[in-house]
Amino acid sequence: MKNYIQIKIELKDSSLADILIAQLSECGFEGFEEGENYLNAFINEKEFDEEAINKIISDNGLAYTKSIIAEKNWNEEWEKSFDPVLVEDFCAIRASFHQPIKNVNHEIIITPKMSFGTGHHATTYLMIQAISKIDFKEKSVLDFGTGTGVLSILAEKCEAKEILAIDNDDWSVENAKENIAENDCSKIVLQKADSLTETGKPDIILANINKHIILLHFSSFQQHLEKDGVLILSGLLSSDYADIELAANQNHFQIVSKSEKDSWICLSLKIV
């Protein structure tokens, strides 16, 4: 059984939570729980880099406590606190122990465990909003960094003809597989991968990751996306916009829409 490390960071200013989530995500943290004046962050014990974490925490003028949490305890913890998520009348995300949600176009059942993507975080919410504005019918889709698989599942419900979901984390791939089965999806191919090398040329690329990974793969997005395709990006703070806009221009992308929630942004881009 995998053990995870939980760090609890006491926050003097709750606005720091978004910045810390972005920074800790780049260090391998996979799950976050925000409370009043604190942030809990979870990482595979084998991935924990104490020196890097100490620098992030000290640079923000904060302190943290560390504890070991077993896989089964994490599952119990999210089950206690996981509430359904509604993204307007377009999509509802719930756990299997919740009652069905009516009066929405699409309902998704998710067991998140330690994977990212339940709809609770602003970036997933923004990605779902962006998906609601695009025609997925008979389109091919790449979900880069699939996490729980929630965006791939939604793409199938929006009538995409084929979806390739990739992630470089064994835990996420295992979790996405369970969620794909739970939602009776048949058009999603799930793979462990960390690049776009074998992904073909989809009509739509979804990438809800973080600025560092997005910048690293911008040229690959341009090479693999169909000429008239759409690239949807999130996992980005408002302060990341200038860097993303520069990389977009350098790789012949145009930003065609931008949305924002809780200091996070989501961008839709096309090749020009």
* Cβ-based neighbours of 236, under 8 Å, separated by 6 or more: 123, 210, 211, 214, 244, 264, 265, 266, 267
pLDDT confidence of residue 35 = 76
Q: Is the dihedral of CA 144, 167, 119, 217 positive or negative?
A: negative
Q: Give the span between the Cα atoms of 189 and 65, in whole angstroms.
A: 40
| Among the listed residues 170, 224, 220, 164, the one whose alpha carbon sits nearest the alpha carbon of residue 192 | 170
To which residue do tokens 């690959």 refer?
220
Q: Give the span between the Cα atoms of 172 and 203, in whole angstroms.
A: 24
Say how many Å lie between the first and final Cα of the chain, rounded.
48
- Taking residues 178-205, what's their average pLDDT? 94
pLDDT confidence of residue 122 = 86
pLDDT confidence of residue 253 = 98
Q: Can you list the positions of beta strands (E) in the chain?
A: 3-10, 31-35, 38-44, 64-70, 85-87, 91-94, 106-109, 140-144, 162-167, 188-192, 204-208, 230-237, 253-261, 264-271
Give me the residue spans of the domains in the chain: 3-79, 122-271
Confidence of residue 76 (pLDDT cuts 50, 70, 90): low
pLDDT confidence of residue 107 = 97
Q: Give the span between the Cα atoms of 219 and 62, in whole angstroms.
A: 36
Note whether 20 and 9 are within 8 A (CB): yes
CATH of segment(s) 3-79:
3.30.70.980
Average pLDDT over the chain, rounded to an integer: 90
* Cβ-based neighbours of 171, under 8 Å, separated by 6 or more: 2, 30, 44, 113, 114, 115
Residues comprising the chain, all counted = 272
Q: Residues 134-163: pLDDT tens digits?
A: 999 999 999 999 989 999 999 999 999 999
Confidence check: pLDDT of 32 > 90? no
pLDDT confidence of residue 225 = 97
**3-10 and 64-70: which strand pairing?**
antiparallel
Q: Residues 228-252: pLDDT tens digits?
A: 999 999 999 898 999 999 999 999 9
pLDDT confidence of residue 193 = 93
pLDDT confidence of residue 117 = 64
| Among the listed residues 234, 205, 15, the one whose alpha carbon sits nearest the alpha carbon of residue 117 | 234
Higher pLDDT, 194 or 253: 253
Query: Which superfamily does CATH assign the domain made up of 122-271 to?
Result: Vaccinia Virus protein VP39 (3.40.50.150)
Q: Give the span between the Cα atoms of 109 and 166, in whole angstroms.
A: 19
The token duo for 97 is 């122990």
* Cβ-based neighbours of 239, under 8 Å, separated by 6 or more: none
Q: Residues 86-98: pLDDT tens digits?
A: 999 999 999 888 8
> What is the DSSP annotation of 91-105?
EEEE-TTSPP--S-S
Higher pLDDT, 166 or 15: 166
The token duo for 47 is 């991935």
